[in-house]
Amino acid sequence: MTQHLTTPLVSIRNLGKIYPGNPEPALFDIGFDIEAAAQIAVTGPSGCGKSTLLNIIGTLDAPTEGEILYRGKGPRALGPLPAFRARNIGFVFQFHHLLPTFTLAENVEAPLVPLGLSKSVRREKSAALLSDLGLFHRRGALPHQVSGGERQRIAVARALVAEPRLVLADEPTGQLDSKTGDLVMEYLIEFCAQKSMALVVVTHNEAAAARMGRRIHLKDGRQCDAPPPA
């Protein structure tokens, strides 16, 4: 078999992160693989390093110890990291970070622009996701004209539209009511599964974590066994 088929999408080995001025490591000795189409929940109390880990996996931050490999290659071998992220990683942050002067449809289409897709293809892909998430009728609105929950659903659509190899979601349903959050989480999981995209979700939601194929639990920056569900 070829290396592409046998090498994990992401390999994390003895990963550590120390921020200047803070004697306690934000992360210490983290290690696991993310296979293609894997679905992983990252859980743990607030301040335990979950978002830091997600940022490092997404190449938005760098570890101070250990290594992280993408299909066997270190970050320096990936070329310009913004271009690598555009092709391979979709993000859903705790706060939506939508472009305020872009319509909802334009925000969803934004990740497709660097890929060189035609306007008609971008509109088609955007429209499909907006329809699935119940926001097609709001496609021409600006972010400040819709609710926080609607903005977060747009952020989910934006992360999925380019069908990246890896989707990283940091509390993607934190600003949604429970019913809408369940629907969005279900859509996120099923979309990634259908497209064979790996999904890593930071969540405090026990029901959402239980739906994922694997759990990485952090405590005080260290990887440990998850506590049993309450």
Residue 211: pLDDT band (50, 70, 90) is confident
CB-neighbour burial class of residue 20 (10 A; exposed 0-12, middle 13-18, buried 19+)? exposed
Q: Which strands form 39-43's sheet, in the order they lie side by side?
A: 65-70, 10-17, 27-34, 222-224, 214-219, 39-43, 198-202, 166-170, 89-92
Mean pLDDT to the nearest integer, 217-227: 84
Q: What is the pLDDT of residues 91-113, one digit of tens each?
A: 998 777 899 999 999 999 999 98
Instruction: Residue 50: name the closest of 17, 83, 73, 81 by CA.
Output: 17
Check pLDDT > 70 for residue 229.
Answer: no
Say if CB 204 and CB 171 are below 8 A apart.
Answer: yes
Which residue(s) pair with 27 in the sheet? 17
pLDDT digits (tens, 9 = 90+) for 13-56: 999 999 988 878 999 999 999 999 999 999 999 889 999 999 99
Q: Which two tokens stand for residue 45?
A: 């109390």
Residue at 198: amino acid letter: A
- Quote the pLDDT of residue 31: 95
Question: Is the domain 37-48+78-224 a CATH 3.40.50.300 member?
Answer: yes
- Spatial separation of the C-alpha atoms in residues 5 and 111, rounded to whole Å: 26
Tens digit of each residue's pLDDT (9 = 90 or more) over 64-88: 999 999 999 999 899 999 989 989 9
Give the pLDDT confidence of 172-203 residue by residue, as tens digits: 887 788 888 888 888 899 999 999 999 999 99
Helices (H), the chain: 3-6, 50-57, 81-88, 104-109, 119-132, 148-160, 178-194, 206-211
Predicted confidence (pLDDT) per residue in 111-149, tens digit? 998 888 899 999 999 999 999 999 999 999 999 999 888
Among candidates 218, 206, 223, 191, which has minimal Cα distance to 39? 191
Per-domain residue ranges of the chain: 37-48+78-224
Taking a C-beta distance cutoff of 8 angstroms, is the pair 67, 125 a contact? Answer: no
Q: What's the pLDDT at 206?
A: 85
Token look-up 């380019």 returns 162
The whole-number pLDDT of residue 179 equals 86
Decide if 25 contacts 15 (C-beta within 8 A).
no
pLDDT given for residue 1 in this prediction: 35
Averaged pLDDT score across all residues of the chain: 90
In angstroms, what is the C-alpha Rg of the chain?
18
